Structure 1
Amino acid sequence: MSRKSRILVVVVLVGAAVALGLVLHGRSTNAGSAAHGSQGGRAWGAAAGQGQAITVAVGQAGHADVPVTLTALGTVVANASVTVTTRVAGQLEQVFFTEGQRVKKGQLLAQIDPRPYQATLDQYRGDLAQNQAQLKSAQLTLERYRRLVAKDSLAKQELDTQVATVGQYQGAVQADQAQIAAAQLNLQYARIMAPLEGYVGLRLVDPGNYLAAGDTTGLVSITQTDPIAVTFSLPQATLASLLPKVRQGQALPVTALGQLDGTTLADGALKFISNEIDTSTGSLKLKAVFANPEEKLYPNQFVNVRLQTDTLKNAVVVPAAAVQLSSDGSFVYVVGADDRVQRRSVTAGPALGERLAITQGLAGDERVVIRGIDHLRDGAQVRVEGAPAADARR
């Protein structure tokens, strides 16, 4: 055998020996691990069989008045919006407002040339003075005729004619007074006043233009923002609970909330409920009115609406974290005096901040588990966080 052949045989033998050693070592290690795992499993089973306490955090059930609310998306609308138009014809002389200005009810907005209406008023006053003088003269003549008829010195026919003449002048005086009132009204209409308090928009007509009575374009629009309204819709299923209260005149509280941060923008009351259901959406339209002195609500703004329909008096409330949901419904773990838990089915009601109302299943003086629920089962022994150990208590 050559030298190279002998070296090759030696290398093969050494490799085989190393491989055999690794196999034997692996079997020994696996056997040791299996034995250790078996001992660990028996130890875990023994600990479980001893009913080792599970650490949990608990909360206390209590009582509180819980509002029953409905939520919806609402749109802010002006409580009133008016397009100011002229009621008499004439040239627009002056405008006494600036665009975007807040005006008060009755404030002078514009002046139409009053001279034609003043002249008409003066004419009617002159006619009245003339007819009043003729009436006075006719009345004096009537008194004289009555004395003459009493002395049988005048024919009764002339007396009757004079009575009719007095009536004629009385009618003329009344007509003149009515014409004067109409002329005064037209003169008043030449001064255009704000019909409500609010903000004016863009001026639609400049001074110098001729305005015609009944022109629908108008001079300017005024939008009332205090008070202001919010319209929103609710499903038709809410009608049964809402309608009786609204018909009885109850002012149901409504809160407008910001869409981004949920902050309270304004508090108001429900004032209107639609007289029909929208068949395309199956919803009911409602309107609430809010005081808005700080202008936190603005026309066409989107807000969240919370409508309070009722209040659960002295209801049982628990931390929301205590209520769990399963295929059988909602449940909580109640901690007994012996620090064992009982799984109890409950009926959850409306929320009150971070607490939930419980309408069935709990009394108001029980402890409920709020953390560590995942490891619990009915009857499990627990240790409450922060409470002394059982040995220490003994």
Structure 2
Amino acid sequence: MNMISKIDAPAENAQDAPRRTRWRKAGWAALPLVAIAAAWGLIDHDGPAVAAMPTPTVSVAQPLVRSVTEWDDYVGRFEASKSVEVRPRVSGAITAVHFTDGAIVRKGQLLFSIDARPYAAALAEARASVASAASDLALARANLDRANRLVLDDAVSKSDLDQLGARVRAAGAALVAAQARVQARALDVEFSQVRAPISGRISDRRIDAGNLVSAGDTSGTLLTTINALDPIYFAFDASEGLFLKSKRAGAEGSAVEVRLQDESEFRRTGRLDFTDNGLDPRSGTVRGRAVLANPDLFLTPGMFGNMRLANGGQVSSLLVPDASIQTDQARKTVLTVAADGTVVAKAVTLGPALGGLRIIRAGLSPRDRVIISGTQMAMPGGKVQARAGRIAAAVATAPPLPAPSTAGEATFAAR
């Protein structure tokens, strides 16, 4: 019996071992909970609560209501007001070049010299022909005078008298032809000196001294080109919608302003002087041209530029700082503050920019309080503390409103 008892005891202990292991694991898992509970008991629940985030403060101002002149924007290129291809009017050998490539030349300035000796010889021959024709005319007149004196004595027949008169007239005509040949040969000698037909900037020489050149209009040898730069043209293409708008506004002769690609302001002024007589049916655009003064000859044909054209008089517009405009996916919004301090995002339709200001065409009223400073701390639907600000002070670069000018000067401009 004792042996049986000894054998059964180890079997009972084997069954209790897994239970003890599970209890140990549960005890270890409960230790963090006990520690947290003990720490919570040490907290002073009667102490002050953690301070909440303060309400952000933003600067607000009502939109400016200003009278502005709106401009239509165009992109185009500068063109020479005059451009001449210099070609020789007589053939021959180039003996000298009298200009520096790329220099400014004046009308009538000597550019090339062509060997004039053949033309000088032809001129001398033509002058000799004039002398011979004058001698023949003098002889014919003397014969006619003698015949007229013999008519009273019936020594000369009527037919002889008519022949002598015809010889005088023929000799006179020959003299006139000889004199014309002298003028033509003199022109050839003059044309052997190629002079600038206009003032402007000259290109490089295409022919060096020693080369033979041929005369002609389009088939003649191209010597160089000259572009007149003062005044200078600005050519652009306008859409049909802008064309209709400008025609209804009577924009012909209106003031324009142009800036170059590396300029931030429209400093150059001119006027619209030409609109083509038809639209291109392929592109639906019409070609236009403005003329600008270029006394320093800085503007060069081929340069790109941005032009704005005033169409109509001044209009009343709402303006807000351009920095206040936010982009919400495909729409533009402006943050405003309601009477209870709630931030409200309003979708707006933007107009052209004016320095640091932006014209708002729709979406705002003059009584809205627009956030002009602190927009990064304002969230739509959140609360803010509004502090009064001034848009004019926030944008110091906005120019004042000058009176409209009829001399082509720019008025208070939006682009």
Q: Could you tell me the TM-score, scaled by structure 1's length? A: 0.70
CA distance in 1: counterparts of 2:130 and 2:261, whole angstroms: 64
- Give the match for residue 411 of structure 2: none
Alignment of 1:383-394 (within 5 A): 383-385=386-388
Q: Cα distance, 1:123 vs. partner?
A: 1.8
- Give the match for residue 198 of structure 2: 196
1:356 aligns with 2:387: no
Q: Secondary structure at the match of 1:66?
A: strand
Check the 8 A contact 1:86/1:192 in 2, yes or no.
Answer: yes
Identify the match of residue 211 of structure 2 among 191, 200, 209. Answer: 209
| 2:74 partner letter | T
Output one character per residue of 1:118-169: Cα deviation in whole Å (capped at 9) or x when no partner: 1221222222223223323433544554455467664433333332222112
- Give the match for residue 391 of structure 1: none
Residues 11 and 82 (structure 1), Cα distance of their counterparts in 2 relative to 1, 3 Å cut: same
CA distance in 1: counterparts of 2:313 and 2:356, whole angstroms: 16
1:313 aligns with 2:314: yes
CA distance in 2: counterparts of 1:347 and 1:220, whole angstroms: 53
| Sequence identity percentage | 27
Moved more, 116-125 or 365-374: 365-374
| 1:232 partner letter | F
Q: Cα distance, 1:89 vs. partner?
A: 1.8
Alignment of 1:224-235 (within 5 A): 224-235=228-239
| 1:105 partner letter | K
Alignment of 1:31-110 (within 5 A): 55-72=58-75, 74-110=76-112
Alignment of 1:214-363 (within 5 A): 214=216, 216-243=220-247, 249-259=252-262, 261-264=263-266, 266-301=268-303, 303-321=304-322, 333=336, 348-358=350-360
CA distance in 2: counterparts of 1:371 and 1:312, whole angstroms: 33
Residues 90 and 198 (structure 1), Cα distance of their counterparts in 2 relative to 1, 3 Å cut: same
| 2:211 partner letter | N
Alignment of 1:360-379 (within 5 A): 368-371=370-373, 374=378
Check the 8 A contact 1:274/1:285 in 2, yes or no.
Answer: yes
CA distance in 2: counterparts of 1:287 and 1:274, whole angstroms: 9
Residues 127 and 216 (structure 1), Cα distance of their counterparts in 2 relative to 1, 3 Å cut: closer
Check the 8 A contact 1:258/1:264 in 2, yes or no.
Answer: no
| 2:192 partner letter | A
Residues 125 and 343 (structure 1), Cα distance of their counterparts in 2 relative to 1, 3 Å cut: same
Output one character per residue of 1:176-226: Cα deviation in whole Å (capped at 9) or x when no partner: 121111111111111111222333333332322332223544223334444
Residues 60 and 160 (structure 1), Cα distance of their counterparts in 2 relative to 1, 3 Å cut: same
In the alignment, structure 2 segments of 5+ residues that lack a partner are: 1-8, 391-415
How many residue pairs align between the two structures? 366
CA distance in 2: counterparts of 1:244 and 1:165, whole angstroms: 72
Q: Cα distance, 1:265 vs. partner?
A: 6.7
CA distance in 1: counterparts of 2:361 and 2:153, whole angstroms: 102
Q: Secondary structure at the match of 2:314?
A: strand
Check the 8 A contact 1:64/1:314 in 2, yes or no.
Answer: yes
Residues 293 and 115 (structure 1), Cα distance of their counterparts in 2 relative to 1, 3 Å cut: same
- Give the match for residue 413 of structure 2: none
Check the 8 A contact 1:68/1:312 in 2, yes or no.
Answer: no
Check the 8 A contact 1:59/1:370 in 2, yes or no.
Answer: no
CA distance in 2: counterparts of 1:367 and 1:14, whole angstroms: 68
CA distance in 2: counterparts of 1:365 and 1:217, whole angstroms: 72
- Give the match for residue 115 of structure 2: 113
| 1:262 partner letter | S
- Give the match for residue 406 of structure 2: none
Q: Cα distance, 1:81 vs. partner?
A: 3.8
CA distance in 1: counterparts of 2:234 and 2:190, whole angstroms: 36
| 1:235 partner letter | S
Residues 300 and 68 (structure 1), Cα distance of their counterparts in 2 relative to 1, 3 Å cut: closer
- Give the match for residue 390 of structure 1: none
Check the 8 A contact 1:232/1:287 in 2, yes or no.
Answer: yes
Check the 8 A contact 1:79/1:229 in 2, yes or no.
Answer: yes
* RMSD between superposed Cα atoms in Å: 4.8
Check the 8 A contact 1:273/1:285 in 2, yes or no.
Answer: yes
Moved more, 358-367 or 148-157: 358-367
